[in-house]
Structure 1
Amino acid sequence: MHGHRTIADQTLDQLGGESSVLARQRRDHVQLERLMAQYQDLGDGEDRERILKETVQLVFSHAFAEETVLWPAVRRCVPGGDELTARVEEEHQQINDLVTDIERLAPGDPEREQRVQQAFTLIRQDIRDEEDLLLPRLQDAVDTADLRRLGRSWELVRKTAPTHPHPVVPRRPPGNAVLGVPLSLYDRIRDALGFAASAPSLIKKLFGGLAGLLLSAAAAVTTVRKRR
């Protein structure tokens, strides 16, 4: 037992090794802090936009893996887990809304930069809540083998997760998992072709319609699960 000690200053062995979900989470958090610092140090221009794009892609793939794999485990295993994850999910939703605005606004717009700074503040708060509050409790509740199993599942989901905000995506399974595959494909087409804010209208209409259908399916699955 670690007594709810923050994972920020634990050794790799204490976290359960390289493949542990705790170690994987912390690596992403370190990378996010590095990207945000680089953004702050750069002046306006293509490099700054590239760093912002990398930050957004990591934020959303990371959060999707948490919501699909990690937070359900916390709710199952950690006393008060539902309340703990609800707090982090609310932070994720706020970040989602801010980044939606950021992607709508043009570079150089003062309102856009304000949204960026608000998003960075929330990302840092989210990191602290996870590393100091939520993940240490999961560490106390499960063994190292479980942390490594969760880590492998988390990594698989993260590599195939959406990389941009989507208002239609629920924060919890099964809805997020149902929508994740098509929206991830949509995002990765955008990323590969360098679209800053939106895809061509045909692609957008195609995926928008598919997302609507899948959201309805996800709602139906949720209803069935609740009735059992």
Structure 2
Amino acid sequence: MTTKVEKSVEVDVPVRTAYNQWTQFEEFPDFMGGVESVTQRDDRTLHWVAAIAGVRREWDAEILEQVPDEKVAWAATSGATNAGAVHFIPNGPGQTLVTLHLEFEPEGLVEKAGDALNVVERQTEADLANFKSFIESRGAETGAWRGEVRAGSALGTPGVADTVPPGQDVVDVLTADHREVAGLIGEIWTTQDPGERRDLADTAIAELVRHAVAEEMYVYPAMRKHLADGDEAVEHDVEEHQQLEELMKQFEGVEGSDPRFNELLRKLDTVLADHISDEETKHFPQLRAALPESELVELAGKVESAKKLAPTRPHPAAPNHELFHKLVGPGVGMVDRLRDKLTGRTTS
């Protein structure tokens, strides 16, 4: 079973100082318990040697995203199954909130026993406390790397030209998403095999989560700005997103043969149908009328790019707004995709 840990610490140094110090990966053993060494092989690749719950492990990790003064996100590529992200947020004059997200898969009896005892959670708290002491006692970083690694850059993240078919704008893209999810739900109703029903449900959930996140990142800010009743329309749509996320969260672990499966599917189908009707009959036509074609096409590209990095699982406790998705969403999405790979969950 995958384990998630999220801890924060406030450090009394500016964001730039805290971030700069974190980029000195080879100095992690100075404040991270159990880490014997970190070797930086190039701008994106690290080799770790550490003791996890008393077991010595080695693994390679790739930096997936590194944005100066904002975040560093990574995932293991061999030797272990873990991923994480650290975020740096200004928290007053000369202060920074450092938040560390970790997700990993304990391996072997010793690690699983250690995980059961919350060893990793306690170690994470201790590591952040040590980082605070380390950087505050110095008052300055030991070094810095101010380059950037953008999410998906090494894989050639497609831009507007090669993600959106010619002649399509953001309304076309979002409407196609609606049709895809509605079609998946229709397949679930007509499929009898419990395993197939569960796989179809997982695919629908992943598509709907990605769609909702992309809307909240780029479409809803445009609606607020350009529609006469933009704030009211967005609040209504966000409330429906929240209802959908809560239903999807309940739906996640229910087997296709469970009587609750049909009950939750029916509720999800009802809320989704109402949401689609509101957007397609009211909000989308208003948005298309308010924005020039070039901006609608540009929004389509942003939506498609956002969906590639967005979470694939519902997180109803997370804020449904643009800033959260841009700061934290890619790290959450990376962890979700890692979990999907580990569990064999169907997302497409």
Bin of the TM-score, shorter chain as denominator length = 0.7 to 0.9
| Aligned equivalent of 1:64 | 213
Q: Please, which of 132, 137, 148 is the counterpart of residue 281 of structure 2?
A: 132
What amino acid is the match of 1:26? T
After superposing the two structures, state which structure 1 stretch, 116-125 or 56-65, moved more: 116-125
Q: Residues 26-58 of structure 1, C-alpha deviation per residue, up to 9 Å, x if partnerless? A: 111111121111010001422111111110010
SS at match of 2:322: coil
2:310 corresponds to 1:148: no
What amino acid is the match of 2:245? N
What CA distance in whole angstroms lies between the structure 2 residues aligned with 1:106 and 1:48? 8
What CA distance in whole angstroms lies between the structure 2 residues aligned with 1:195 and 1:114? 25
In the TM superposition, what are the counterparts of 1:90-169 in structure 2 within 5 Å?
A: 90-169=239-318
* CA displacement at 1:195 relative to structure 2: 5.4
| Aligned equivalent of 1:24 | 173
- Please identify which structure carries the higher helix content: 1
Q: Unpaired runs of 5+ in structure 1?
A: 1-15, 197-228
2:204 corresponds to 1:55: yes
User: Pairwise CA RMSD of aligned residues?
Assistant: 1.7
CA contact (8 A) 1:17 1:23 kept: no
SS at match of 1:174: helix
| Aligned equivalent of 2:229 | 80
* CA displacement at 1:107 relative to structure 2: 3.8
What amino acid is the match of 1:101? Q
| Aligned equivalent of 1:35 | 184
| Aligned equivalent of 2:159 | none
Would you identify which runs of 4 or more consecutive aligned residues in structure 1 move more than 3 Å? Answer: 16-19, 104-107
SS at match of 1:169: coil
What CA distance in whole angstroms lies between the structure 2 residues aligned with 1:168 and 1:86? 17
CA contact (8 A) 1:169 1:176 kept: no
* CA displacement at 1:121 relative to structure 2: 1.3
| Aligned equivalent of 1:45 | 194
* CA displacement at 1:17 relative to structure 2: 5.5
* CA displacement at 1:74 relative to structure 2: 0.5
SS at match of 2:257: coil
Aligned CA distance change for structure 1 residues 139 and 83 (closer, same or farther; 3 Å): same
What CA distance in whole angstroms lies between the structure 1 residues aligned with 2:167 and 2:199? 28
CA contact (8 A) 1:162 1:180 kept: yes
* CA displacement at 1:167 relative to structure 2: 2.7
What amino acid is the match of 1:175? F
Identical positions, percent? 28
CA contact (8 A) 2:195 2:256 kept: no
CA contact (8 A) 2:202 2:252 kept: no
* CA displacement at 1:191 relative to structure 2: 1.7
Question: Could you state the TM-score of these two structures normalised by the residue count of structure 2?
Answer: 0.50
**Does 1 or 2 have the higher relative contact order (CA < 8 Å, sep 6+)?**
1
Question: Could you state the TM-score of these two structures normalised by the residue count of structure 1?
Answer: 0.75
What amino acid is the match of 1:162? P
What CA distance in whole angstroms lies between the structure 2 residues aligned with 1:132 and 1:139? 12
CA contact (8 A) 2:194 2:255 kept: no
What amino acid is the match of 2:250? D
2:337 corresponds to 1:188: yes
CA contact (8 A) 2:170 2:299 kept: yes
What amino acid is the match of 2:217? T
What amino acid is the match of 1:32? V
What CA distance in whole angstroms lies between the structure 2 residues aligned with 1:157 and 1:127? 20
- Please identify which structure carries the higher strand content: 2
Q: Unpaired runs of 5+ in structure 2?
A: 1-164
What CA distance in whole angstroms lies between the structure 2 residues aligned with 1:24 and 1:173? 19
What CA distance in whole angstroms lies between the structure 1 residues aligned with 2:230 and 2:334? 31
Q: Please, which of 165, 168, 173 is the counterpart of residue 322 of structure 2?
A: 173
What CA distance in whole angstroms lies between the structure 2 residues aligned with 1:61 and 1:129? 19
What amino acid is the match of 2:183? R
* CA displacement at 1:105 relative to structure 2: 3.5
